[in-house]
A and B are shown apart, each in its own frame.
Chain A
């Protein structure tokens, strides 16, 4: 009986202390790096805004763009632009002077891409 009480209290105390200690350490670290990251990013943001304000009006980035750039998944967009550019380049028989000004989603009239996707997925091994 006495042995059971000793073991139970040992486990209760150890478990309580260790779980709280580990999680409290994590709270401290997360708070610290959260503050650091927030400060660094804020400073960067501020620099961007200041630089933008120094430029002549015509060359300024539209408002909110600096913030939006952080939010957008750049990798995906870059890859998409690269793929579309390569497709256009090959479609027009590799012209020397080609400049893509913008990419807009065209209203879907044909389901050619869907069919290509389906055939790719159901192709036998």
Chain B
């Protein structure tokens, strides 16, 4: 009989600790959302490298919230210091009562999340990106920087929208940075300014980056004429190895002096690029762009996804963030295009304004979209390399904009 009672108690304990008793309806909704995101990542291949771990982190934390639980100390009251239960524990006396400290360790993802919270992962991702980026088109045509800067205006316009929707200035800055179309920068700024919004902002940023081929073409066609889209640009001049080596050094010196808060992002980006261009540390370069970046991507994706718990994600604020993120993206694209049109006018029709849309980072997707839309008007027009200039300038521009937000807010 005693054995049967023990069996029933064990079953009851298991049932009470199971997800059926612990989870709320918000968790179940989030599990469905995570499954939809997994579907988009696997079947539709929308930014799968990040969307898949983000979605899985979201799934895990809503199935077992304690996986993100922070460590804490329980105080257990005891009758005297000699109590055998207190052996090996720290003893405290509070208000005449004696307690011993019973520490509880944090969940697995809590510890991995410290890399996001402390702003470690995004700069390391930038290191890998730097190793993979060719700044040649930008060096060959430095005017591309103007388009990279213009596309960042969307960040600041969205900031205004967020302020008027009732977000705090810090939260508005984090929401605005979605318009930079740069995942690591968005995560870095949000972790510093509004860590409570990390989940919705990361999901919005990566979703919109994946949707660049759908979001940008209608804006491109709306703001440019057929004649402008058909412009064939002159071939870029070849860039020497020496120029490519000097570039990252100069950029980091200028940016870090003017905006020290942007130094972790731009510094790592340029270090990675110097690894690549110097040609003397091939092994390090390969590690940074492959193994290191892949490891950090796993940690970053899963832990950022794990911040999207039901209670945090399912609020009207998330809808606001998603709407503002779309506005940021569209405004960035539009501003880049409008500056592209200005350059078209000033150069007497030598610049195809479509390359301005690539000023939002989203490397190399935005450049590919500019190329594709250009080829719809003139199949023999290859804008890819011309669009890569503003595209990589956008990466630097969004890091500079991030530095401005971090310094001012």
Contact = CB atoms under 8 A, between A and B. Distances in A.
Interface stretch (A23-31, A83-91, A95-103, A110-118): A23-31
A92 interface: no
A11 B159 contact: yes
Given A19-B397, A37-B246, A30 B142 contact: yes
Contact of B159 (A12, A18, A20, A41): A12
Interface stretch (B305-313, B320-328, B401-409): B401-409
Given A25-B254, A33-B246, A73-B279, A20 B149 contact: yes
Contacts of B58: none
A8 interface: yes
Contact of A14 (B138, B169, B243, B408): B408
B155 interface: yes
Q: Is the interface of B mostly helix, strand, loop or mixed?
A: helix
Contact of A41 (B240, B247, B409): B240
Given A37-B240, A37-B243, A22 B258 contact: yes
Given A14-B404, A34-B243, A8 B160 contact: yes
B262 to A, nearest CB: 9
Interface in A3-19: 4, 7-8, 10-12, 14-16, 18-19
- Give the interface centre of A4, A11, A16 by most chain B CB atoms within 10 Å: A11
- Chain B interface residue number, banded: 35 or more
Contact of A31 (B142, B247, B258, B396): B142
A11 B246 contact: no
B28 interface: no
Contacts of B160: 8, 11-12
A69 interface: no
A70 interface: yes
A4 B166 CA distance: 10
Contacts of A18: 258-259, 400, 404
Nearest to A15: B156
A34 to B, nearest CB: 6
B152 interface: yes
A27 B156 contact: no
Nearest to A1: B164
Contacts of A16: 153, 156
A16 B400 CA distance: 11
Given A8-B159, A31-B142, A70 B404 contact: no
Interface of A: 4, 7-8, 10-12, 14-16, 18-27, 29-31, 33-34, 37-38, 41, 70, 73, 75
Interface of B: 138-139, 142-143, 145-146, 148-149, 152-153, 155-157, 159-160, 163-164, 169, 173, 239-243, 246-247, 250-251, 254-255, 258-259, 279-280, 393, 396-397, 400-401, 404-405, 408-409
